[in-house]
Structure 1
Amino acid sequence: MAEAAPSNQDLFTCPVCLDILNYPVTILCGHTYCMGCITSCWDREDQKGVYSCPQCRQTFTPRPVLNKNNIVAELVEQIKKTRIQAAAPVACTAGPGDVECDVCTGRKLKAVKSCLDCLLSYCKTHFKVHNDVNPGRKHSVIDATGQLQERICSHHKKVFEIFCRTDQSCICYLCTMDKHKGHDTVSAAAERTNKQRQLGQTQRRFQQRIQEREKELQELRKAVETLKVRTDHIRQQLAQQSLVIVLSRLCCHLYMIQTITEIHGLAGFTLGHLIKKSQSHHE
């Protein structure tokens, strides 16, 4: 009976870990493995100095240099993407401000996770498929973000995990071995904690200054209100004093008028009496 033809998945499965190939390398006998898997196998054969293919057992001396098989790598990525796209998406459509799923075709769904190894963002369903496609491999996964490229070293294609205090920039671990060798470096997490602490201190200082300015403003408002009350009181006092002066002058004026009137009346009475008396003498 003829043997069944191997499936595409079998062709791109690593014979060592039995998972789909990750960073595939093809050795001299033609068999392909994950870079990490064949490296681990040959590390165990270093003492013998003879390196063999885990499948056909062909031996090599000296240890062959391993290079990525770009053609196989592209085919593996296509298979991964095809398997992910085959899953039925069940999630909400991405709206304004949301990160879109990079795998969804047509209607883009809201991404929930981003993979720093794949440099892709996934909706809930496609993230599950991503984990199924990469069983046993621990990828660096974060909450969905639309700035994946900003988290990857453009030179080494590795995740930024270290902060260089000398150059004030994020770098990957390989950068510490060349351009940033000998620089003052800390883990990105430690620097983030330090920056958050500094930011907290700055925020507290600004908050204290704001409270001091608010207190000064409150005292100034209180002083203005007190001045207004005093001004109103002085105005009332002046108004009352002015009224007293006016009334006093009016009383004096009325008294003078009354006095003049009385004098005038008395003079008229006296004059009339004298006239009558004078007339009586002439008679």
Structure 2
Amino acid sequence: MASAALRDELKCSICLNIYRDPVSLRCGHNFCWGCIERVLDTQEGSGEYTCPDCRKRSKERPVLQKNRTLCNIVETFPPNPSDDSEEGVKIFCLYCVDSPVQAVKTCLQCETSLCGTHLQAHNKASNHVLAEPTASLENRKCSIHKEPLQYYCCEDAACTCVSCCLVGDHRGHNIELIDEAVKKKKEKLEIVLQEHTVKRNQIENRSKKLKKCQEKVQKKSVTVQEKINNLFTYIIQQVRNLQNEIINSVNSQELDISNIIQHLETQNKELSRKIRDIEKLCNTTDPLSVLQDKESDGGDLCHSGKEYKPDRIFHRLLSVAADLDDVIIIKNVQQRLFNIVNEYIKREYHVPENALIPLNEDSAGNNLAVSECRRTIYWTEINQNRSENPESFNSCPQVISKCSYPSGRHIWKVETSGSGQWRVGAAYASIGRRGDTSPIGSNNKSWCLMRNKDRLTAVHDKKKTWLHPTSPLQMILLYLDYEAGRLSFYQLCDPIRHLHTFTASFTEPLHAAFYVSNDAWIKIID
């Protein structure tokens, strides 16, 4: 009996179960942390908070203090099976004395469990509240009045008995029948369930798409890594060869100079010896000794007026020594390295050069100005009064390139304004020239990147894909691979960033297309 009395003291007055994470209010009453949080949430906006037990009022939300002593008692208190789920426990009919029959319902008023037969007789005699079969009715009764919990207080978010509603703590509150409260809560749960189901389906769809994308990336990654490895292997080998070539060239020049210096020093010694011999002869008084001397090569003395001049090798070496500058060498290395990478990429990958795309001024709209070099376009309020022709976009400030691209791979670079509305992309020559569907992206014959009100979208046939660049968009690279059916847009920043790729089966030659409005401008970069 003492254990049962203690168990009642350890029950939360809101959920009527043993405390879970018990906390205390300033008034001293204890509740489960989750239970009192829900009650306080329902009192938000009412202007005051009240304790579910003593009804003490507070204008500020009460601070919950963990009751450590009560926590320790609850943790050491032996659990009651009736507090938890009764799955696996068989409940028998109270009236089937001779042979036990499993109960189908429990009457909360009568506190009896009934089988199907006795339940029919019970329902004819009275209209009591029935619940699933249970062996313990304590958690279904009011802890104060010991009456069945038949009502629900919306303000305190607690189940109550009829006495609590009439004369107890919940008097004057918004009270509902339990069935009505359950119905409303289930309706809310259905809405939440639908929202969660939709979110789960979205997550599953995104996960499937990402998994497919991951498979493609994994397959392509092997090829890309192989190509990159080949590229760097080639570059490293060529760089080593270039390094050896330049170092050998510098060393060779140094050796050439050293050899010539040695040769000149030998000549200098020989000339010094001859000078001494000649000086000796000049100082000799014996005429016969002077004339008979052959060793001094006196035959060359008659040309003594001729000066010794440096040969061509001497001049070349002087020039080499003057040009042997580290800045010049590094500049040469820079150009050679660029040529190595550029030639390899051209040979192996056929990367296209930046396409020259002069604009077709005959196609320009009347509110679009074109520069003399036909590389820059900008929107203007001044009507250009261009002559009517089948090619012009009279309905919008738009222009297409003069040349078309029926095949191959091409790159265009453009610079865009930071304000106004602009579109850059590609279109068939058969695109409409009149009406609301003539701007690129507004029909099925064009593809574009559009900026409008600081928002960036990829548009085709009026279908928009929102993009989110990490920095302001100024320089854009457009890459067309006609045979592969791909038109890609990249942001030229450090590092270069992919924005969007359209995929399609192109059926006509494509033209570069540009649209500007509201003080916007676009510049084509060669």
Using structure 1 for the length normalisation, give the TM-score. 0.42
Structure with the larger strand share: 2
Using structure 2 for the length normalisation, give the TM-score. 0.24
